[in-house]
């Protein structure tokens, strides 16, 4: 594979630093309290340089959420030879490792707290994050239906079922009680049970798919910056 030109590598690295700094600042101060000055300082850049990459706080906020969404959807958008059950399992773990990170939980809490006095912020968060993630899930499930692996009448409801089954309870608990983060054994318990219920409800070959699920092993623990 041909290496990227140095200038392009530098741009990608700067953008990554900006998005990482943005997540830290937004998760600590919320959307209203976050400033482009704070984000530029966190990324080790000047404010004019930051604006060359993201002309407004709105665009930066959207890009930050899009990055997290794309990470969670990678298993659906780049299918493997392992099959649907393995892809659902990998997605579930990527989703858990993202939304249960302390910074993502802090961001969600702050967005909820600001929703009443700044409803546009809540709408932007919903549109750039959860709504787009749901759309990606719907697209994947529809593809599996077309290929004869799943059966359902309403793809949106099937996606909402999948979403709710794999992690709803422990995430809600962690949102309300910051020191109640589930350990990996608890996450695995919920993911495996949730996928089992989903496959029994929607798979065209539930017995085979449940056997495939039972054979899967949890991923190794993610690096600290991704958990």
Q: What is the model's pLDDT at position 2?
A: 58
Strand residue runs (E) in the chain: none
DSSP characters over 13-70: HHHHHHHHHHHHHHHHHHHHH--HHHHHHHHT--HHHHHHH-SSHHHHHHHHHHHHHH
CA angle, corner 148, sides to 69 and 207, nearest 5? 90
Answering whether pTM is above 0.85, one says no
- Residue recorded with tokens 């850049």: 45
And the tokens for 14? 């700067």
Q: What is the pLDDT of residues 165-220, one digit of tens each?
A: 998 889 889 888 888 889 999 999 999 999 999 999 999 999 999 999 999 999 88
Q: Which residues pair with 142 in a beta bridge?
A: none
| Alpha-carbon distance values, 196 to 165, 208, 212 (Å) | 9, 11, 11
- In tens digits, what is the pLDDT along the chain, a chain of 227 residues? 456 677 777 787 888 899 889 888 988 888 888 899 999 999 999 999 999 999 998 889 888 877 777 777 776 766 667 899 999 999 999 889 988 988 888 888 877 877 777 787 778 777 777 888 899 899 999 999 999 999 999 999 999 999 999 988 898 898 888 888 899 999 999 999 999 999 999 999 999 999 999 999 998 875 444 33
Tokens of 64: 């930050």
């Amino acid at each position: 594979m041909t290496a990227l030109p140095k200038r392009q590598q530098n741009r990608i690295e700067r953008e990554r630093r900006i998005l990482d700094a943005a997540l830290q600042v937004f998760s600590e101060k919320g959307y209203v309290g976050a400033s482009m000055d704070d984000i530029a300082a966190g990324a080790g850049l000047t404010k004019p340089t930051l604006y060359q990459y993201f002309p407004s706080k709105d665009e930066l906020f959207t890009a930050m959420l899009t990055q997290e969404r794309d990470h969670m959807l990678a298993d659906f958008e780049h299918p493997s030879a392992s099959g649907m059950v393995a892809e659902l399992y990998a997605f579930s773990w990527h989703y858990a490792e993202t939304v249960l990170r302390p910074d993502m939980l802090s961001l969600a809490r702050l967005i909820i707290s600001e929703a009443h006095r700044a409803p546009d912020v809540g709408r932007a968060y919903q549109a750039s994050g959860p709504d787009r993630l749901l759309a990606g899930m719907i697209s994947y499930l529809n593809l599996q239906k077309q290929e004869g692996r799943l059966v359902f009448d309403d793809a949106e409801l099937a996606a909402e079922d999948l979403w709710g089954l794999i992690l709803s309870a422990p995430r809600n608990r962690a949102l309300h009680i910051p020191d109640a983060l589930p350990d990996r054994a608890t996450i695995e318990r919920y993911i495996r049970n949730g996928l089992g219920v989903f496959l029994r409800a929607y798979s065209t070959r539930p017995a085979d798919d449940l056997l495939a699920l039972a054979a899967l092993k949890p991923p190794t623990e993610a690096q600290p910056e991704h958990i």
